[in-house]
Amino acid sequence: MPEPLRVPNPARKLTVGSCCSGWCAELFACEMLSLDFLPVFGCDLLPSAQAVSEALFDHEFWFWDCMEEDFLQAPHVDLFLAGLPCQPWSRLGPSRGFEDDRGLLMLPVIRWMSARRPQVAIFEQVGSMLTRHPREFALFLELLLQIKHRGRPAYIVTYETLNCRFHGYLPQNRERTFVVCICRQHAVAEMSWPARVPVLRLSSVIDADTEPALEDFPGRLPSSATCRRNVMAVYEKILEEGRDPLEQELVINMHGSEPHWNEGYSPCLTQARAAAGGFWLSWLQRQMTSAEVCRLQGVDMCRIPAGLATERQIRQLAGNSIPIPLLARVLQAALEAAGLV
C-alpha cells in the first residue's frame, strides 16, 4: 500500500489522545507517518475497543464515557482526535441529530478542548451531517470558534469532505467530513487538504482464492434467503447488460431490502455491514473475510493479538474506523500547519 509522504520526527514525542477511540486509528496513522508518539489517553464504551487499543498501544489512561465528569480530567495532549458516532447524522436510519443522545457527545469534547487546548484537534463525521443537518453542523463549528485564548478564537477551524477512494488510496467508497482545528498561537501555515491520489486495485486488499473450485453460474450463493435474493437481483441486472456477473469484480451489499453494488471497489463499510461479515464478492463467489474487512480500512488483522476480541467485534471496530491512509494524509497536513513537524 502506498504510504503518505513521510515527515520528520518532532523534537520530542507527540502526545496523542482520542475520544470514541475504537481501535485508535490516529495511532495507526502516526505509525504510518513514522512519528515518535506517546499514547496518552483513549475513551470508548466498547470493552473490545479498550482491549485491542491497550494491547496495541498501552495508553497511560483509558476513559469509558466522555459524558462522565472524569473524562474532563483527561490531560493535555498535542494531538486530539474524535470520530464521533455517525448514527445521529447519517442518511441511513432515523438521522435524529441532537434528539439522539449520541449527537450530544460533541459537547463534553468541546468542554475538554476549552480546558486543555490541544495544538491540533481532528473530528471525523459522515458527509451527510453537513448536507442534511447544516444548522447543527454550523453550531458545532461555532462552538469550536467560541473556545477563546486572550479574548480571540483559540483555533483556526477548517473542514473538508474527502472520499477514501479518491484521497486515501483504498478501494472503498467512504465519504467523510473532517473538521481540523489548529491552535492559532502555534499555527505556521494554512491547512492544505490532501489532493486526489490513484486508488489501489481491489486485488491489493482481496485474497485470490485457490480452493474450493468455483462453480458454474449462478455459482455459490449466500446461505441467507434475503442475501441470495439480493445477489441474484444484481446478477440479473449484469446479465441484462450482456456481461457475466461471475467474471466481473462486483462487490455487493447484499443485506437489507435493496441490493447495492460497486464494480472494482467496495461500498462503504459501515459498522453493521462490517459486523455482518462485509460484502459479497461475485468473482470469488464468497463473502469478505475478516482480514479483508480490516485491510479495506488500512489495518493488518495480524496486528491484533488473538483472544482479545471475537472476529465479529474486530469487524465492528473496523467498520467504525477512519481509513488509516486517508487519516494519515489529513494528519500530516494538520501537523505541518501547526508547526508540529
Per-chain mean pLDDT for the chain: 92
pTM, entire model: 0.93
More confident residue, 313 or 95: 313
Band of residue 1 on the pLDDT scale cut at 50, 70, 90: low
Instruction: Say whether pLDDT at 152 is over 70.
Output: yes
Q: Give exposure, 120-132, as e/b (b: 16+ Cβ within 10 Å).
A: bbbbbbbbbbbee
pLDDT in tens, 156-177: 999 999 999 999 999 999 999 9
**Largest Cα–Cα separation, the chain:** 71
**What average pLDDT does the segment 82-110 reach?**
79
Band of residue 5 on the pLDDT scale cut at 50, 70, 90: very low
More confident residue, 326 or 213: 326
Instruction: Say whether pLDDT at 3 is over 90.
Output: no
**What average pLDDT does the segment 299-313 reach?**
95
**What average pLDDT does the segment 119-147 reach?**
91
Give percent of the chain with pLDDT exceeding 70. 95
pLDDT in tens, 191-248: 999 999 999 999 999 998 866 778 999 999 999 999 999 999 999 999 999 999 999 9
Output the pLDDT for position 112: 96
Output the pLDDT for position 8: 46
**33 DSSP assignment:** T
Parallel, antiparallel or unpaired: strands 280-281 and 286-287: antiparallel
Instruction: Say whether pLDDT at 85 is over 50.
Output: yes
Best mean pLDDT range from 5-14, 97-106, 130-139: 130-139
> Of 308, 298, 338, which Cα lies nearest the Cα of 27?
298
Distance (Å, rounded) from C-alpha 160 to C-alpha 330? 10
Output the pLDDT for position 126: 85
**What average pLDDT does the segment 3-25 reach?**
77
Instruction: Say whether pLDDT at 9 is over 50.
Output: no
H helices of 106-208, where?
A: 106-116, 128-132, 134-145, 164-167
Which domains does the chain possess? 14-199+322-337 (3.40.50.150), 202-318 (no CATH)
86 is catalytic: yes
19 burial (CB, 10 Å; 0-12 / 13-18 / 19+) is: buried
Band of residue 11 on the pLDDT scale cut at 50, 70, 90: low
The single residue of 24, 86, 183, 268 carrying the catalytic annotation is 86
Output the pLDDT for position 169: 97
Angle between helices 134-145 and 106-116 (to 10 degrees): 20
